[in-house]
Structure 1
């Protein structure tokens, strides 16, 4: 990093204006040229500027093996070695360096740590803002990590299009800069993951297969299981059920070997969904119950989807007693959590359905006034297509053809949106 870039970095990280830094040393316009590499300042001016910033030019040697420690820290996050990652964070937070590149590297890794561990989520937003404010001086591998962090950050916040954009930047940068094999695999896995969220099924399959091949070569079994689950999800979407079950059962064997309840919960959830798609409701319920058993000690966010799918299966069976028990259980989990508002609406919809019936006026009113506008605003096309069709059919039976056409049109629009994202 050139002296001017270092000066800009230190000034921005200290929230100092160019006017405050330049005062009594040089003109603001000259400082701007120094920072942008349009002028080479004398050593004297550079020293004055750094002194005002409280920095020493020095030779900025790597302090110990900090760069390697940062790489190790990232690996522990990737490999889900949570205790080792926490220990590294504790050690690295006590180490200081005047090397600008290492400071940026550390801030990216710290952000990633809090994204994947959710220990201090408030640090994430602050670090993202700090890195964004100096992104013009972030280069080479640090730029790759910055885009990676932004990709994961947007994925966590369900901004899947933005996440995909940043991860594609990471992929492009990966061909210019040497990265380790496990990093390549992780990047491909993330691209597969966010592609699946955007219903780009064929793209997701390609990325996930590439990631799986990489992880198998490295014997990264936990990450292999993640890929198998994602492949299972994609294959069930395209109704290749035997292939989906094969991948999910391979993931199950890894989860069993490592006593990974979190992974088992996900596997049984997806196996249950396949049985549901095949109209094997009894088998689906049994698998969903197994999933919920393994998720019982986990956070509500891990349980809500399984509860919802159980409710749907009980509705198919006409089992309002067990269905309402699941609705009540679900509402207890989500009532005070705005981040789970989607499931709160799902559960309340089925509360009306079990008590009043699908074709009851109050059920339809709840859909039209609350649920459908919410899903439309959040671009939840799959749920929107299903619920809008229910309302359209209701109005058609009531001979309210104008209203029926409106909701059938909304159904078609939602299905087109799903198709468009899949074909991108």
Structure 2
């Protein structure tokens, strides 16, 4: 039987050495050949290896070509549905189905594609990032056997993972690797649209505004032609963000209004939360805090997801901090921390640091040196240099106001250094 890839995948997942798996069953060198599908072992050896690994032999599909064809069609159709819909609950439902109906195929290509698609669903569903990180690492050991499309799927997964864990630079690195593969893979139009949208999201977050817009418009064209109005709405929001970042405020406002119009015309009230949030962000950058606060509160009212309102709560904290409204800063920080405790999700750890910093800043004692340093170290590890810079400045000002001039100078230098990194500037002459 051709089961080497199944044995190798499960052995790697369990972090078991070949010597341990082979002991009492076969030699390690024989196991190595089995795993590379160079030899096909007897059913007795396969049964012993499966038992040691805890693999259910009843799930093995033995050269059933029709079953493979049917499963592959279902898998690809499910993948398209999930990627084009971009709905977390729908993704969780499809992920659950695939995990319950997961036959083990002697067809290595089909099995690897299944693993890669399931991994993508887990990332979209907001699975535990430590577990996802291990899955990615395990797949790395199998990647030399991937075909071009599987390599594409693997690198897209890594890009998405790094973006989800706030490591933007690593995400861009893998997306740019993906772009080098695209010409050699026959991607369908929907998959190209999703890639273009994803590049738009990551590049916008990295302030690559002029590079971004062509990718977004390409994705928008596909979604509009295929009447995927939720995705059309997503594109208008993203275009609005790019316009805001390039200080084209009226154009940004018009993009958000188009998104709101789609919400009304196509019965997408659950998307109004993100539209209101972006209207709040636009008002804030234009200096209208009162209007920004009103929009952020509207956003919280419409957000119904599990993590509803965290970003808008944080933005409310910022607006009230600008007004030096100590009571409301602390009230909204408490609401944010309370929500974090309910969620119990490490993916939102950054908010824990944000809320604690602002809460300490507006306390009777003033900014906490310990809390701020912990946050700076956290954002360094996440390579989120925008917040390293921001909180280094806050700490520098606190030191200065407390006549700790040497420490203040060190923090200002640190802020300048990470500002250079964030803006990709090497020397002051390039400013």
Give the corresponding residue for 2:53: none
Structure 2 equivalent of residue 213 of structure 1: 221
Which of 339, 349, 353 is residue 341 of structure 1 equivalent to?
349
For residues 127 and 413 of structure 2, what CA distance do their matches in structure 1 show? 45
List gaps (5 residues or longer) in structure 2.
12-16, 48-59
Query: What is residue 86 of structure 1 aligned with on the other side?
Result: 93
8 A contact 1:111–1:149 mirrored in 2: yes
Shift of 1:278: 0.9
Q: Within the alignment, does 1:105 sit opposite 2:101 as a pair?
A: no
283, 286, 290: which is aligned to 2:291? Answer: 283
Q: How far 1:226 sits from its partner (Å)?
A: 1.7
Q: Is the 8 A contact 2:300 2:309 kept in 1?
A: yes
Offset from partner CA, 1:304-354 (integer Å, 9 cap, x none): 221111122123334333333212212212357454333223223332333
1:13 paired residue number: 9
Q: TM-score, normalised by structure 2?
A: 0.79
Change (3 A) 1:183 1:53: same
- Of the three residues 162, 167, 172, the one matched with 2:170 is 162
Aligned pairs for 1:141-160 within 5 A: 141-160=149-168
Contact 2:280 2:296 in 1 (8 A): yes
Per-residue displacement from partner, 1:246-288 (whole Å, max 9, x unpaired)? 2222222223334434422111111111111111111111101
Deviates more, 1:106-115 or 1:395-404: 395-404
CA change 1:377–1:141 in 2 (3 A) is closer
1:251 aligns with 2:259: yes
1:313 corresponds to which of 319, 325, 331: 319
Indicate whether 1:298 and 2:295 are aligned.
no
Superposition map of 1:164-203 within 5 A: 164-203=172-211
Task: Decide whether aligned partners of structure 1 residues 220 and 339 sit closer, same or farther in structure 2, where only a CA change above 3 A counts.
Answer: closer
Indicate the larger mover: 259-268 or 59-68. Answer: 59-68
8 A Cα contact 1:21 1:52, kept in partner: no
| Cα distance in 2 between the residues matched to 1:22 and 1:318 | 68
Query: Partner of 2:424: helix, strand, or coil?
Result: helix
Q: Is residue 2:322 matched to residue 1:322?
A: no
Residue in structure 1 matched with residue 148 of structure 2 by the alignment: 140
Distance 2:28 2:379 in 1: 55
TM-score (norm 1): 0.80
**When the two structures are aligned, how many residues end up with a matched partner?**
405
> Hey, what's the Cα distance between the residues in 2 that align with 1:56 and 1:284?
58
Name 1:363's counterpart in structure 2.
367
Q: Map of 1:377-396 to 2, 5 A cutoff? A: 377-396=381-400
Structure 2 equivalent of residue 69 of structure 1: 74
Relative to 1, partners in 2 of residues 1:23 and 1:204: Cα closer, same or farther, differing over 3 Å?
Answer: farther
Cα RMSD after superposing both structures: 3.8
**Pair 279,172 (structure 1): closer, same or farther in 2 beyond 3 Å:** same
Per-residue CA deviations over 1:206-263 (Å, capped at 9, x if unaligned) read 3223222332233222222222222222222222212222222222222333443442
Contact 1:25 1:48 in 2 (8 A): no
Q: For 1:34-49, what aligned pairs fall within 5 Å after superposition?
A: 35=36, 46-48=39-41
Q: Where does the alignment leave 5 or more consecutive residues of structure 1 unmatched?
A: none
Match of 1:406 in 2: 410
Q: Deviations over 1:48-103 (max 9, x none)?
A: 47884468984845635222211110111113265487358527843634322221
Match of 2:250 in 1: 242
Is the CA contact 2:7–2:35 (under 8 Å) kept in the aligned structure 1? no
